[in-house]
Structure 1
Amino acid sequence: MADNNEIILCLIPFLLDQLDDDDDDDFTLPTKALMLDHRARRTRMKTQHFFETTVPLFLPDTFRRFFRVSRGTAEILYQHLGQCRELRKREFRGGREENQTEKKILMTLRYLASQENTMEISDRFGLTEYTFLKHKNLVIKCIINNLLSKFIKWPSVTEMDMIATNFNDMGVHEFPGIIGAIDGSHIQIEPPSENPQSYYNRKRFHSIILQGKCKDDMQFIHTNIGWPGRVHDAKVLKNSHVWESGYQKCEYGRFHLLGDAAYPLRVWLLTPYRDTGHLTRQQTYFNKCLSS
């Protein structure tokens, strides 16, 4: 015999009209709860034509705030990801037309740029949650497999000379041979179910660490992502392959990275003198120059 709840679910469309009547006391509380939940699901409305009509009207600043990239950067993503076989639009042979590649990319950017959940984003772009999740995962996979090594890469020796010149021209003080600056950033996350305390950082929220090395134009040349927020910056560096190959990557001492006091001093990594209260005037001046 079918379960009572299954019977109720079948009858809900007919019972909903009776829920607002004065004599709805005939329904039990669980029955009312199931009916109200079904009503909420039934009345859920998706935004119509947001991608097709609203997004094209965004001003440049609005577009950047909403997707956290400029239109120009989005266009570059369209061009590069549009060449990925997994994202190419198949030939239309009837039925429901496939979503545009640009739409898949923009809703993925919105997911990465906001705190909206999957239901909110899928409704905004007029899709089911399943379809949104499928496209989002595919876009991220294509970015990692096709764009990561193309855009985040260590500079060549020729490029290092140019970067070092640009770095040296940026400040008042001369620091020749600098090809990048290293630092960490905490990416806020929901507390994981396992070992949440390991992700609770000194800024008092749960995070994973993104440790990046950037050149003078703020483009990444290397990243190390995923360490729990409680881990010290120096430990993150020591567990990256740059720690072992930094001297070689920086042309055996010819070039250097700049880091703050959280990092250890190396031939290829310049850091401030540790202030133990006994710094000389020259050491204090060096620290001031380094930080400016």
Structure 2
Amino acid sequence: MEPAQITTAIMSTMNTTRIVLEYMQSQNMPKQNQDEPRRRLQRGDKSDEEIDMDIELSRSTGPSNVQIMVLLGQVHAVERRFWTRETSTDWWDRIVLQVWDDSQWLRNFRMRKGTFMALCDLLSRALKCQNTRMRAALTVEKRVAIALWKLATPDSYRSVRNQFGVGKSTVGAAVIQVARAMKDLVISRVVTLGNVQAIVDGFAAMGFPNCGEAIDGTHIPILEPEHQATEYINRKGYFSMLLQALVDHKGRFTNINMGWPGKVHDARVFRHSGL
């Protein structure tokens, strides 16, 4: 809230409290004494502050907290509304979902629409959320799309926010939630060694006989860690974590091993991996 709005709210609360106190005091004062402060003010005997003090001293019992709360509801019945910034979701709702063909999906999300929908079905158990009084929850499809777009493109969180019409923090939360859900529900189903003989035949057809898999490592850039930061500086001079991946003749992942500091050599990662 702006400073002026905060000041206005405080003054309104103080005025309302004063009205409630005066009302309760008038209810507790004897009838013959209720008009006495007004008569004193007309005669000019005392100031407003002194009269307020007299009223405070003359009351027999003060109002309870419950009475004040009840009166506040009677004096100022204000409808509470939740504030949200207006955003547009037309790009996702009307263009991506309804207009884009498989080539556009593949180019932007790295998968076809049918694969995307199948992935959403697998992740729905972990990602489905309930609506709240403040706003409707993001659908599973939109949550997965936000995460895939961020992972598949070099766009910033701000850019992704504008694309999907959500908050920047929502983008960050969606990426983490989808990544965890994929780790728990999808990787064990999809990333498997498969039929080794079929893979060997596939590589042989490509001109690589007696090849069962293709393996390599890659560096994933990270922010400087708080502890043992030098261990994460790779040979190219930036902070990273290592990902060792195994793929078949079609480029599909069949084994993943990650988490080693960027300074570690690829041979050491392979030697300590499940392979």
- TM-score, structure 1 as length reference: 0.58
Q: 1:152·1:220 contact (CA, 8 Å) conserved in 2?
A: yes
**1:47-58 equivalences in 2 (<5 Å):** 47-56=88-97, 57-58=99-100
Alignment root-mean-square deviation, CA? 3.4
SS at match of 2:258: strand
Paired position in structure 1 for 2:120: 78
Deviation at 1:206, TM superposition (A): 2.7
Alignment match of 1:66 (pick from 105, 108, 118): 108
Deviation at 1:59, TM superposition (A): 5.4
Alignment match of 2:153 (pick from 114, 118, 125): 114
Q: Is 2:11 the counterpart of 1:10?
A: no
Paired position in structure 2 for 1:162: 198
Pair 1:95–1:186, CA change in 2 (3 A): closer
Q: Is 2:237 the counterpart of 1:204?
A: yes
Aligned pair count reads 201
Letter of the structure 2 residue corresponding to residue 107 of structure 1: I
For 2:205 and 2:257, the matched residues in 1 are separated by 28
Paired position in structure 1 for 2:266: 233
For 1:9 and 1:121, the matched residues in 2 are separated by 32
Paired position in structure 1 for 2:247: 214
Pair 1:48–1:161, CA change in 2 (3 A): closer
For 1:87 and 1:45, the matched residues in 2 are separated by 24
CA deviations on 1:60-97 (whole Å, 9 max, x unpaired) are: 55433433333343233123223x2x33465x798743
Q: Is 2:133 the counterpart of 1:97?
A: no
Alignment match of 2:179 (pick from 134, 140, 145): 140
CA deviations on 1:131-186 (whole Å, 9 max, x unpaired) are: 4444433322221111010011123xxx2222222222220x6x33x321211112
Paired position in structure 2 for 1:87: 127
Gaps of 5+ in 2: 9-82
Deviation at 1:48, TM superposition (A): 3.8
For 2:154 and 2:6, the matched residues in 1 are separated by 36
SS at match of 1:179: coil
Higher helix proportion, which one? 2
CA deviations on 1:88-144 (whole Å, 9 max, x unpaired) are: 465x79874332211111001122223434344234322234444444333222211
Gaps of 5+ in 1: 13-41, 243-292
More displaced stretch, 185-194 vs 53-62: 53-62
